[in-house]
């Protein structure tokens, strides 16, 4: 098998010096994730220095290291490893003939990225590549690029931001042929004056489009025209997607059934009927973005439809598990990785559609919402009431606004943190319950999922909503 990088390839890409030849088949900057044959990149941060973990990386099987200080073992030495990782990512992008798709948005970008990978890998097994986890920042994007084999046919990269200008820098590294904005919502509102400012920052993704590139934009968004204006100077082709009659790629029909949603989609010059496994209107929209991108890179639409029928939820982003409880089993819906007002409302609505003895919502703080945070939290009261939620467990200080709004409307409890939530849930969950667990990752609600998930089994498909 051809190696991903040789020591001399790396040195040429990053302007480094080789100390001991080696060949690497993977790239990692977290020593805990190093596997046999990997290149370990020793990054220097404000609180730690990756050079402290070089020996451990070699013990875990690393083939070589990218360092700025002398170390034992085969390595390439550079002046700055962060700059070198950027350069390695650029070199990986430059050497491939792959069609590249960039994905951003306030909600839906990770799920859309995973669905795109499944759709493209279905038709070209082993020739599709995507960023893993949510590696979507100034370190994760070049790392994901550096991991891409030269023979890749399709590359899908998630890009995130928390400030204006960040996406402009990332997209110029990725240089996508297709750039998608999934949706605009008040995520990271603490860093932006308005949703319009968030839309402008997300619209920076179009600045890196390759000549002849395609911009894919949510038709049903109130910021549609703003995004189209941002794309126009850089995109040869602009396609909108969604449910609206005027969308270029739209779901003409979407009928919910026991095995998913049957969708009849209309595209420029094509039609496609397929079943979408993850439920929810937001996933119908995500699926339109997926098939638009597949069509834009001349992918196999039929294979994409089959892949969307098989989509399963991701841990922390829609995975469903059946958890053993006293007297039987309960459904746990794991949305513990992230949360913002739009994704909260969408997943609460889905909880309301679950056939269950009781519907229980465990909701953690939504972070980075700025001065409007109390209003955004309080606004979740109506979705909870509308969904027929029987009990809400609110976790974290910012949930106080929702607690005030729920007084006299539904049963609830408000606790300070995940540890207290775990204590409160013990003995509460009964056979036949459906339990949604969702909050910003910093709240730590994943530990609740882990607690109930021990001995649990997968339970079908659920959307990745954030």
Asked whether the predicted pLDDT for residue 457 surpasses 70, the reply is no
Q: Which residues of 131-169 are buried (b: 16+ CB within 10 A; e: fewer)?
A: beebbbbebbbbbbbbbbbeebbbbbbbbbbeeeebbbb
Q: Which residues of 433-453 are buried (b: 16+ CB within 10 A; e: fewer)?
A: bbbbbbbbbebbbbebbeebb
Residue positions counted in the chain: 466
Work out the pLDDT band at 454, boundaries 50, 70, 90: low
Measured CA to CA, the distance from residue 250 to residue 189 in angstroms comes to 29
Specify the pLDDT at position 461.
41
Query: What is the CATH topology of the domain spanning 96-309?
Result: 3.40.1190
Measured CA to CA, the distance from residue 199 to residue 99 in angstroms comes to 25
Specify the pLDDT at position 450.
87
Residue ranges per domain, the chain?
Answer: 5-80, 96-309, 319-458
pLDDT tens, residue by residue, 359-388: 999 999 999 888 889 999 999 999 999 999
Measured CA to CA, the distance from residue 192 to residue 339 in angstroms comes to 17
Specify the pLDDT at position 459.
52
Half-sphere exposure (Cβ direction) of 230: Cα atoms closer than 13 Å: 26
Average pLDDT, integer, range 409-434: 93
Classify the C-alpha dihedral 288-293-295-299 as positive or negative.
negative
Work out the pLDDT band at 129, boundaries 50, 70, 90: very high
Measured CA to CA, the distance from residue 285 to residue 373 in angstroms comes to 26
Tokens representing 181 are 């904005």
pLDDT tens, residue by residue, 88-114: 999 999 999 999 999 999 988 989 999
Measured CA to CA, the distance from residue 28 to residue 47 in angstroms comes to 19
Answer whether 74's CB lies under 8 Å from 54's CB: no
Work out the pLDDT band at 281, boundaries 50, 70, 90: confident
- What's the Cα-to-Cα distance from 365 to each of 71, 190, 349, 370, 441, rounded to whole Å? 43, 14, 18, 12, 9
CATH number for 5-80: choose from 3.40.50.300, 3.30.60.50, 2.40.50.140, 3.40.1390.10: 3.40.1390.10
Specify the pLDDT at position 462.
37
Asked whether the predicted pLDDT for residue 133 surpasses 80, the reply is no
Average pLDDT, integer, range 110-125: 95
Share of the chain above pLDDT 90, in %: 78
**CA 11, 17, 22: angle at the middle one, nearest 5?**
65
Return the CATH class of domain 319-458: alpha beta
Work out the pLDDT band at 157, boundaries 50, 70, 90: very high
Average pLDDT, integer, range 267-277: 95
Instruction: Return phi, psi of residue 134, to 5°.
Output: -115, 50
Closest CA to 162 of 203, 194, 191: 191
Average pLDDT of the residues of the chain: 92
Asked whether the predicted pLDDT for residue 456 surpasses 80, the reply is no
Answer whether 283's CB lies under 8 Å from 353's CB: no
Average pLDDT, integer, range 159-171: 94
Specify the pLDDT at position 1.
59
Specify the pLDDT at position 349.
93
Instruction: Return phi, psi of residue 261, to 5°.
Output: -105, 125
Work out the pLDDT band at 452, boundaries 50, 70, 90: confident
Average pLDDT, integer, range 449-460: 63
The larger pLDDT score, comparing residue 281 to residue 418, is at 418
Measured CA to CA, the distance from residue 320 to residue 459 in angstroms comes to 5
Answer whether 309's CB lies under 8 Å from 277's CB: yes
- Residue 252 has a CB neighbour count (10 Å cut-off) of 13
Average pLDDT, integer, range 338-344: 88
How many helical (H) and strand (E) elements, i.e. helices and strands, does the chain have? 16, 23
What is the C-alpha radius of gyration for the chain, rounded to an integer number of angstroms? 23
Task: Say which residue the tokens 């992230």 belong to.
Answer: 338
Asked whether the predicted pLDDT for residue 465 surpasses 50, the reply is no
pLDDT tens, residue by residue, 229-258: 999 999 999 999 999 999 999 999 999 887
- Least confident range from 242-256, 386-400, 443-457: namely 443-457
SS3 of residue 146 by DSSP:
helix
417-424: long-range pairs with CB below 8 Å, 24+: 417/443, 417/444, 418/364, 418/443, 418/444, 418/445, 418/447, 418/448, 420/395, 421/362, 421/364, 421/393, 421/395, 421/445, 421/448, 422/447, 422/448, 422/451, 424/393
- Secondary structure letter of residue 314 according to DSSP: B
Measured CA to CA, the distance from residue 195 to residue 429 in angstroms comes to 38
């Amino acid at each position: 098998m051809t190696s991903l990088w040789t020591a001399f390839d790396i040195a040429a890409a990053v302007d480094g010096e080789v100390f001991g030849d080696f060949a690497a088949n993977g790239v990692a900057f977290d020593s805990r994730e190093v596997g046999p044959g990997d290149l370990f990149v020793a990054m220097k941060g404000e609180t730690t220095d990756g050079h402290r973990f070089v020996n451990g990386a070699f013990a875990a099987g690393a083939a070589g290291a990218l360092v700025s200080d002398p170390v034992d073992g085969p390595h390439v030495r550079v002046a700055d490893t962060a700059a070198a990782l950027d350069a390695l990512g650029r070199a990986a992008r430059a050497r491939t003939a792959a069609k590249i798709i960039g994905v951003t948005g306030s909600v839906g970008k990770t799920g859309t990225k995973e669905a795109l990978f499944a759709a493209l890998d279905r038709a070209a097994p082993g020739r599709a590549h995507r960023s893993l986890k949510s590696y979507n920042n100034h370190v994760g994007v070049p790392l994901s690029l550096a991991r891409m084999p030269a023979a890749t046919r399709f590359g899908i990269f998630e890009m995130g931001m928390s400030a204006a200008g960040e996406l402009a820098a990332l997209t110029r590294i990725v240089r996508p042929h297709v750039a998608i904005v999934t949706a605009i919502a008040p995520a990271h509102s603490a860093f932006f004056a308005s949703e319009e400012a968030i839309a402008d920052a997300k619209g920076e993704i179009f600045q890196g489009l390759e000549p002849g590139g395609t911009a894919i934009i949510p038709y049903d968004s109130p910021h549609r025209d703003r995004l189209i204006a941002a794309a126009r100077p850089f995109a040869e082709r602009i396609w909108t997607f969604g449910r609206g009659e005027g969308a270029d790629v739209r779901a003409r029909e979407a009928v919910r059934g026991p095995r998913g949603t049957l969708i009849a989609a209309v595209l420029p010059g094509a039609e496609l009927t397929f079943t979408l496994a993850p439920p929810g209107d937001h996933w119908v929209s995500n699926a339109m973005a997926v098939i638009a991108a597949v069509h834009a890179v001349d992918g196999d639409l039929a294979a994409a439809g089959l892949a969307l029928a098989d989509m399963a939820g991701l841990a922390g982003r829609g995975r469903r598990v059946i958890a053993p409880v006293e007297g039987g089993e309960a459904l746990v819906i794991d949305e513990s990785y992230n949360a913002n007002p739009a994704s909260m409302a969408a997943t609460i609505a889905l909880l309301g559609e679950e056939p269950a003895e009781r519907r229980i919502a465990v909701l953690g703080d939504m972070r980075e919402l700025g001065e409007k945070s109390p209003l955004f939290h309080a606004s979740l009261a109506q979705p909870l009431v509308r969904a027929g939620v029987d009990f809400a467990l609110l976790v974290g200080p910012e949930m106080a606004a929702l607690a005030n709004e729920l007084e006299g409307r539904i049963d609830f409890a408000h606790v300070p943190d995940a540890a207290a939530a775990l204590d409160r849930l013990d003995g509460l969950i009964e056979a036949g319950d459906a339990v949604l667990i969702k909050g910003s990752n910093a709240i730590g609600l994943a530990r609740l999922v882990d607690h109930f998930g021990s001995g649990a089994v997968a339970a079908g498909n659920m959307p990745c909503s954030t």
